[in-house]
Amino acid sequence: MTFSTHKVWLMFDPRSTLVALAAFLVVLALLIHFLCLGHDRFNWLEGNPAATKAAAAAVTMPVNPVA
């Protein structure tokens, strides 16, 4: 039995299928981005808190002059 994949489009309307696929992908992308923004580790808008603490600690360290 041979199955021709082009016959799938006889069962489904191509325009409706592609619009539904695009809508699903947009919703999935928004969901993933909002989940990342809600987490401290992956929030790129507020910055990396670990990096800012390390930078602040590096600035406040005293420098010993070489004599």
Residue 33 tokens read as 């981005």
> Any binding-site annotation on 44?
yes
> Any binding-site annotation on 1?
yes
Ordered DSSP codes for 8-40: HHHHS-HHHHHHHHHHHHHHHHHHHHHHHHTST
> Any binding-site annotation on 2?
yes
Binding residues for bacteriochlorophyll a: 1-2, 33, 44
Binding residues: 1-2, 33, 44
